[in-house]
């Protein structure tokens, strides 16, 4: 099989797995370790092949570490001030998986897109479910949306915001 065909097949499979994770999170408010942890490992494994990788292996490893650490730290800070969790560690593992697949450089775009869509989607979710603004809603689907956008259109935000003068 040609390297480009493998590359496209992997992208399709990754999108399907991410969509399944979003569905699970919407239904259960959980992102199972049985899917997220292998997804982290597979991302680093896939990026170890120089002929078909999305990013360099070092960027993949750093992406997984930074992705998890960012949301872990954010949750720790939230817990310190509010005395309760603000984000699930399944979300941290999902961001680590996205970092493993797409590299650490994709994390700012993913977090920005997930935050914007999560803000809008969260308000819709709370209104549809007749819940108060302080109620929980799943963040995983918004990480998935942002990850898929970054997978299909890398550096979309940079291209939108950094219009070159001509």
Give the pLDDT confidence score for residue 139 in this predicted structure: 93
Q: What is the pLDDT of residues 94-148, one digit of tens each?
A: 999 999 999 999 999 999 999 999 999 888 878 888 877 777 788 999 999 999 9
Residue 166 has pLDDT above 80, yes or no: no
Give the pLDDT confidence score for residue 94 in this predicted structure: 98
Give the pLDDT confidence score for residue 55 in this predicted structure: 96
Residue 165 has pLDDT above 80, yes or no: no
Q: What is the pLDDT of residues 11-36, one digit of tens each?
A: 999 999 999 999 999 999 999 999 99
Residue 164 has pLDDT above 90, yes or no: no
Give the pLDDT confidence score for residue 91 in this predicted structure: 97
pLDDT band at 162 (very low <50, low <70, confident <90, very high): low
Give the global pTM.
0.90
> What is the C-alpha to C-alpha distance for residues 77 and 99, in angstroms, rounded to an integer?
22
More confident call, 156 vs 102: 102
Lowest mean pLDDT among 40-49, 70-79, 152-161: 152-161
């Amino acid at each position: 099989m040609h390297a480009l065909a493998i590359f496209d097949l992997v992208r399709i499979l990754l999108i399907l797995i991410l969509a399944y994770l979003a569905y699970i999170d919407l239904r259960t408010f959980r992102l199972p370790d049985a899917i997220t942890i292998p997804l982290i490992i597979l991302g680093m494994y896939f990026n170890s092949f120089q002929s078909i990788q999305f990013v360099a292996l070092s960027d993949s490893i750093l992406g997984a570490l930074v992705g998890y650490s960012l949301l872990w730290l954010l949750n720790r800070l939230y817990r310190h001030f509010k005395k309760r969790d603000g984000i699930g560690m399944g979300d941290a593992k999902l961001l680590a998986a996205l970092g493993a697949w797409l590299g650490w450089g994709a994390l700012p775009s993913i977090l920005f897109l997930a935050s914007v869509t999560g803000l809008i989607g969260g308000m819709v979710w709370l209104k549809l479910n007749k819940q108060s603004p302080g109620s929980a809603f799943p963040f995983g689907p918004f990480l998935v949306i942002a990850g898929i956008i970054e997978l299909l259109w890398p550096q979309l935000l940079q291209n939108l915001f950094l219009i070159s003068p001509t």
